[in-house]
Chains A and B, each alone.
Chain A
Amino acid sequence: MRQFVWHEADSYLHRLNPLTKLALTVPVAVLVALIWEPITPLVMAAVAVLATWRLGRVPLAGLLRGLGFALLLGFGMFWTGVLYYAGQGSDGPSVVPGPLQITEASLVYGLTMLSRTLAIFATSALFVLTTNPIDFVAALIQQGRLPVRVGYAVFAAYRFVPLVQEELDNIRAAHQVRGAAGDRGVLGRLRQSFGYAIPLLAISVRRAERVALAMDSRGFGARPDRTSFRTTVFTQADVLFGIGAALALAAIVGLHRILGF
């Protein structure tokens, strides 16, 4: 998952308003929810990856590594879909040899789940990998009318994730050297997690308080007429991207209708 964060570069996609890129995920999610076959979402995923690579200048290797996680999740969805599919055609003849009864319909169902996951992840990757989180918050505040306090709270939480992870590692290590690694079974694990929770909470709260104090000390939220260092605007590039994305989606859906796959 660590690869799945902002890739610092200057490109057409990087220069777009973050909200434009975020907005793209909406029609994609709606369309893949309406389409009941595996190929169309897969085409959408491929186009999104291609765009992120060429227009976003994100190295393909890193991009695919990031999508590896989606593939893993997608495979989970695939198997669940295949094994538990109980819709039309689920009682047909098995298409694979072996003890499992896997019909063609259930296989298609599983593949659809897999490619939907990929489509949504790839579109999100286009947004996440080419967007500086600070710009995203700025756009949410400037164009999305989000209150400043809320915007920065969201951002602070985002910044906090790796720090909390680090603290958790520390606490886990501390428990280990105390001889705590022997806990087995559900109850033992549960008790162990509870042991982590209190110090983690105490330390995280303290840290959050310190950050809040530092922000307040620099006058955060004290003036209603706050200015902004980063200005995000909608430009022609955003309009262009919107038209391009709409055309691409229309073309993919059109192919789906014409070829009927």
Chain B
Amino acid sequence: MNMADTAIEVDGLTFKYVGRRQPTLRDLSLRIRAGESVLVLGPSGCGKSTLALCLNGAVPHAISGDLHGTVRVDGLDTRRASMADLAQRVGIVFQDPEAQFCMLTVEDEVAFGLENLAVPRAEMDRRIDEALGVVGLADRRRERIERLSGGQKQRLALACVLVQKPAILVLDEPTAQLDPAGTAEVLALLGRLRAERRHTLAIVEHKLDEVMPLVDRALVFSAEGVLMADGPPRAVIREHGDWLAEAGVWVPQVSELARSLERAGVALDPFPITVTEAAEALRPHVELLESPTPQPPPPCAGEGEQDRHPGPVPEGAGAALLRVRGLAYQYPRAARPVLRDVSFSLGAGELVAVVGANGAGKSTLARLVAGIVRPPRGAILVDGRDVALVPPPELAREVGYVFQYPEHQFVGRTVLDDVAYGPRRAGLPEAEAVGLAEAILDDFGLRRLGPAHPFTLSHGEQRRLSVASMLVMGQRLLLLDEPTFGQDQRNAAMLLDKLEALAAEGRTLVAVSHDMRLVAERAQRVLVLVDGALAFDGPPARLFADAALLDRARLVPPPLWELSQRLGLHWPLRGTALAPVGPAGAAPPDASPNGVAGAVSEPASSTPVGYGRTGTGAGPVAGGPTGAGPAVPESIP
């Protein structure tokens, strides 16, 4: 192959971080042609981000470690070239929109890259305008960065690297922290760049249904950092499907569905990796996906948006556990209220999602309910008691709040201490506190990690620990901020199974989330906030059917919903005929009976396809209601 055609050339690359025992990447060799668009897949911690940093030379220039082998970008050896030369060849966009800027205004930020390259001042204005034009921020040139939305910030990050005119763009989960509308913005921009074919793209991303049309090659890494597969995305996902599912790697939802159908004996051709392809391929098999009990049709014109159906409440539910009445809130010194006249009630055993664009007031609502932000009197009642008047330690026994970043909430030096913190605070005798903690750790499959420091746990374990700690006192209301954030497919599914089991026990769960898949497949009811007002309260199927509302709330339905619409099917899609996703026999020996109970064994139920309900490999957390420490009352008076 001609040198000029090769954009990236990796030979025998092995990299080990200082202080780690095992290398993060092992003996990697690959070539990427100029203009190619490559997707990087793998379970969390498999070295995807490390590869990104190796490609732009941050390894070894900014991050030291044990590096073997060579990386050439655009013919330049990353080890020998300076970061300034590398920056003109490889641009990188990171996941966190808050942590990649160092200036105050948009133009200063874009100019920063030009200054570093010693571009003459006279050339700067033209190049800044050009780069901002490409990402659609030309009219925001003098804006302060903090005033941009998440999607705009990520587009700015892209402008900041484009201005340096690199041939290669590396994107490390650019949409992970964005709301659905922001994600769509960034992906549309990537689509335009890809259509121009002027750049070589390397993309790490979890929202695969949306990314698939943008890539022509997929690399799959194992948890040990070994390149497992390399080829066209369709072939990779089809051939390595079992392995991907077992390792917890996200694959397109439509591919998950296709694999389930394949197991049930219906092979689709071509194997779909996008919604469009799936709609084509599934048209002859529509009857397999038709829901046996059609949901009520979308609301007719006469019906109001704010219907207050309590939603399906499991048996044993009594009066409302949470009652919010005419809640309005404005932060001190803020110009506008964050919440305006919000009213709703939640009963025991409900699993509810709160959605809306960034800044719509979702987090504030959850924080007010948890008493983190003091609510106005009489607006929020938990079990009939005014949250504004209950002392925080007492409220903490009733209401748990799981933070988006688990590290924020760890208070113990060991996993056991962290869980036992609540009971000890509440003044329980030591033996009882430890007993409660151990019981719930058992329930969440974390018992063996008891002596470990919480910060040393994996992402999935940290998330489970953060939930366990918030339930140890038998809290009846649990609020979760982006529970699936940063989780791989397997951990997300396990966690959501657990949440469903908790709801079945009679606990009330409220998840604030941008994850429309969670909303569509797991929530019984969804609350939509638009500019601080409650714009919708009802079942997810009704929300996704209302295009005008989705637009107003800046929401985008998940891929499977999209598919069901194109096929003219009711939501949820039926999964009764489908085998569980994942390889047979992959379940760990301690998987509980509930965990392995795939849809096949219960043909009568209408288990919806989706969030890769952990058919197998569920591990202990999928274990449904087990003795979770303090008893939850059968019915709440």
Which residues on A are within 8 Å of B, measured CB to CB?
2, 132-134, 152, 155-156, 159, 163, 167, 170-171, 173-182, 195, 199, 202-203, 207, 210-223, 225-231
Whether A214 pairs with B99 at a CB distance below 8 angstroms is: yes
Whether A219 pairs with B113 at a CB distance below 8 angstroms is: yes
Whether A213 pairs with B62 at a CB distance below 8 angstroms is: yes
Which one of B82-90, B304-312, B524-532 contacts A?
Answer: B82-90
Whether B114 pairs with A227 at a CB distance below 8 angstroms is: yes
Measured CA separation A175–B412 after assembly (Å): 11
Considering the complex, give the chain A residue whose CB is closest to the CB of B122: A227
Whether A217 pairs with B112 at a CB distance below 8 angstroms is: no
* 21 intermolecular pairs with C-beta atoms under 8 Å apart: A134-B104, A170-B405, A171-B408, A176-B372, A180-B421, A182-B392, A182-B393, A203-B405, A203-B408, A207-B99, A210-B96, A211-B100, A211-B101, A213-B94, A218-B112, A218-B113, A219-B84, A220-B112, A222-B85, A227-B120, A228-B121
Q: Tell me if B21 counts as interface (CB < 8 A to partner A).
A: no
Map CB proximity to A onto B403-425 as digits: 1 under 8 Å, 0 otherwise. 10101111100000000011001
Which residues on B are within 8 Å of A, measured CB to CB?
53, 56, 58, 61-63, 82-88, 91-92, 94, 96, 98-105, 107-108, 111-121, 124, 160-161, 164, 333, 367, 370-372, 391-393, 396-397, 399-401, 403, 405, 407-411, 421-422, 425-426, 455, 469-470, 473
With beta carbons under 8 angstroms apart, the residue of A170, A177, A223 that contacts B399 is A177
Apart from the given pairs A176-B396, A214-B99, A223-B118, 14 other A-B contacts in the complex at a CB distance below 8 Å: A155-B102, A170-B403, A170-B405, A171-B408, A173-B401, A174-B409, A174-B411, A202-B407, A203-B408, A211-B101, A213-B53, A214-B101, A214-B102, A219-B117
Set of chain B residues within 8 Å of A225, measured between Cβ atoms: 118
Set of chain B residues within 8 Å of A181, measured between Cβ atoms: 391-393
Whether B83 pairs with A179 at a CB distance below 8 angstroms is: no
Whether B83 pairs with A176 at a CB distance below 8 angstroms is: no
Set of chain A residues within 8 Å of B421, measured between Cβ atoms: 178-180
- Please judge, given known A-B contacts A177-B370, A218-B112, A227-B120, whether A199 and B407 are in contact too, CB under 8 Å: yes
Set of chain A residues within 8 Å of B88, measured between Cβ atoms: 219
Set of chain B residues within 8 Å of A228, measured between Cβ atoms: 115, 121
> Which residue, A132, A170, A228, A229, has most C-beta atoms of chain B within 10 A?
A229
Set of chain A residues within 8 Å of B124, measured between Cβ atoms: 227, 229
Measured CA separation A2–B396 after assembly (Å): 32
With beta carbons under 8 angstroms apart, the residue of B116, B160, B425, B473 that contacts A222 is B116
B481 to chain A, nearest CB (A): 10
Set of chain A residues within 8 Å of B455, measured between Cβ atoms: 202
> Which residue, A177, A212, A214, A230, has most C-beta atoms of chain B within 10 A?
A177
Measured CA separation A132–B85 after assembly (Å): 31
B523 to chain A, nearest CB (A): 22
Measured CA separation A221–B116 after assembly (Å): 7
Whether B102 pairs with A156 at a CB distance below 8 angstroms is: yes
With beta carbons under 8 angstroms apart, the residue of B92, B120, B396 that contacts A178 is B396
Set of chain A residues within 8 Å of B99, measured between Cβ atoms: 207, 210-211, 214
A24 to chain B, nearest CB (A): 24
A94 to chain B, nearest CB (A): 42
B263 to chain A, nearest CB (A): 42
Considering the complex, give the chain B residue whose CB is closest to the CB of A218: B113
> Which residue, A155, A167, A215, A225, has most C-beta atoms of chain B within 10 A?
A215
A180 to chain B, nearest CB (A): 7
With beta carbons under 8 angstroms apart, the residue of B84, B104, B400 that contacts A223 is B84
A137 to chain B, nearest CB (A): 10
Set of chain A residues within 8 Å of B94, measured between Cβ atoms: 210, 213-214
With beta carbons under 8 angstroms apart, the residue of A155, A177, A203 that contacts B396 is A177
Measured CA separation A228–B122 after assembly (Å): 10
Set of chain A residues within 8 Å of B114, measured between Cβ atoms: 227, 229
Measured CA separation A210–B101 after assembly (Å): 10
With beta carbons under 8 angstroms apart, the residue of A178, A199, A226 that contacts B469 is A178
Whether B115 pairs with A226 at a CB distance below 8 angstroms is: yes
Set of chain B residues within 8 Å of A2, measured between Cβ atoms: 333
Whether B115 pairs with A178 at a CB distance below 8 angstroms is: no
A256 to chain B, nearest CB (A): 39
Measured CA separation A230–B422 after assembly (Å): 53
Whether B410 pairs with A199 at a CB distance below 8 angstroms is: yes
Set of chain B residues within 8 Å of A179, measured between Cβ atoms: 392-393, 396-397, 421-422, 425-426, 473
Set of chain B residues within 8 Å of A220, measured between Cβ atoms: 83, 112, 116
Considering the complex, give the chain A residue whose CB is closest to the CB of B57: A217
A65 to chain B, nearest CB (A): 11
Set of chain B residues within 8 Å of A174, measured between Cβ atoms: 401, 403, 408-409, 411
B556 to chain A, nearest CB (A): 27
B109 to chain A, nearest CB (A): 10
Set of chain B residues within 8 Å of A180, measured between Cβ atoms: 393, 411, 421, 425
Considering the complex, give the chain A residue whose CB is closest to the CB of B105: A134
A1 to chain B, nearest CB (A): 12
Considering the complex, give the chain B residue whose CB is closest to the CB of A158: B104
A196 to chain B, nearest CB (A): 9
With beta carbons under 8 angstroms apart, the residue of A170, A216, A231 that contacts B62 is A216
- Please judge, given known A-B contacts A213-B62, A222-B84, whether A173 and B367 are in contact too, CB under 8 Å: yes
Kindly list the 5 A-B residue pairs having the minimum CB-CB distance in the complex, ordered from nearest: A222-B84, A229-B111, A219-B87, A174-B409, A214-B100
With beta carbons under 8 angstroms apart, the residue of A159, A177, A223 that contacts B372 is A177
Measured CA separation A223–B117 after assembly (Å): 7
Considering the complex, give the chain A residue whose CB is closest to the CB of B404: A170
B329 to chain A, nearest CB (A): 15
Set of chain A residues within 8 Å of B105, measured between Cβ atoms: 134
Measured CA separation A90–B278 after assembly (Å): 91
Whether B407 pairs with A219 at a CB distance below 8 angstroms is: no
B178 to chain A, nearest CB (A): 17
Measured CA separation A182–B124 after assembly (Å): 56
Set of chain B residues within 8 Å of A212, measured between Cβ atoms: 62
> Which residue, A133, A180, A217, A229, has most C-beta atoms of chain B within 10 A?
A217
Measured CA separation A177–B469 after assembly (Å): 11
Set of chain B residues within 8 Å of A207, measured between Cβ atoms: 96, 98-99
B170 to chain A, nearest CB (A): 9
B542 to chain A, nearest CB (A): 32
Set of chain A residues within 8 Å of B408, measured between Cβ atoms: 167, 170-171, 174, 199, 203
- Please judge, given known A-B contacts A217-B58, A222-B82, whether A152 and B102 are in contact too, CB under 8 Å: yes
With beta carbons under 8 angstroms apart, the residue of A134, A156, A159, A178 that contacts B422 is A178
With beta carbons under 8 angstroms apart, the residue of B108, B392, B399 that contacts A230 is B108
Set of chain B residues within 8 Å of A195, measured between Cβ atoms: 411
A153 to chain B, nearest CB (A): 10
A28 to chain B, nearest CB (A): 27
